[in-house]
Chains A and B, each alone.
Chain A
Amino acid sequence: KQEVTQIPAALSVPEGENLVLNCSFTDSAIYNLQWFRQDPGKGLTSLLLIQSSQREQTSGRLNASLDKSSGRSTLYIAASQPGDSATYLCAVDTGNQFYFGTGTSLTVIP
């Protein structure tokens, strides 16, 4: 069974700092990997999706990379802002199943 781990579980940084969130998965047979953010009491928002054939995706201040062979993905957030405070989740698609990590809770301090 696929296991998805996110490190760290929680992170607190001052505003303006660049940061990296990590996601690892145990089975490299994936179709894609997706990063989401979840705000308290709200649903999930898709940030980036990386297909298994891709190495990275960028959207604004966000950059996600994928190393399928080593079972790792990173989400890089540049010039963090207080509005980036949320829980970030990665999820892998194995075709018929989807596995989410437990998330990283990010707090950006003004």
Chain B
Amino acid sequence: GAGVSQSPSNKVTEKGKDVELRCDPISGHTALYWYRQSLGQGLEFLIYFQGNSAPDKSGLPSDRFSAERTGGSVSTLTIQRTQQEDSAVYLCASSSTQGQRQFFGPGTRLTVL
């Protein structure tokens, strides 16, 4: 595609519900990254994929967070049993391969009530 796309753009959910966020990287990009930006906070790295593999999952905030990537393209970030502190903008980026310039999507704004 022309750029990185994310869906939904906005998500409001109730505490305790599960949510799934989707990222479509630029076509042909093998590396994909997930970040979150909480209100008034800096960007926090969550996880990255090279192909379908995530070498290091230690950036995920808790075991309620999981991510997968299939077919070397689309990735989903799943948050189980959402908490209010999960409210943030979740950003996805892709690059042609690891160590190259990252191109960001517009983000998904998650609000947990």
Contact = CB atoms under 8 A, between A and B. Distances in A.
Interface of A: 31-32, 34, 36, 42-46, 49, 51, 89, 91, 93, 96-103
A73 B14 CA distance: 42
Is chain B's interface secondary structure helix, strand, loop, or mixed overall? loop
B55 A96 contact: yes
B103 A46 contact: yes
Contacts of A102: 42
Residues of B in contact with A, size category: 20 to 34
Contact of B42 (A31, A46, A97, A100): A100
A98 B45 contact: yes
Contacts, number: 47
Interface in B37-70: 42-45, 48, 55-56, 58-59
Given A96-B48, A97-B59, A43 B42 contact: no
A89 B35 CA distance: 14
Contacts of A91: 43
B91 A43 contact: yes
Nearest to A45: B104
Q: Which 3 residue pairs spanning A and B have beta carbons closest together? A: A96-B56, A100-B43, A43-B104
A66 to B, nearest CB: 14
Contacts of A96: 48, 55-56
B101 A34 contact: yes
24 contacts: A32-B99, A34-B101, A42-B106, A43-B91, A43-B104, A43-B107, A45-B104, A46-B102, A49-B100, A51-B99, A89-B43, A93-B99, A96-B48, A96-B56, A97-B45, A97-B58, A98-B35, A99-B45, A100-B35, A100-B42, A100-B43, A101-B42, A102-B42, A103-B42
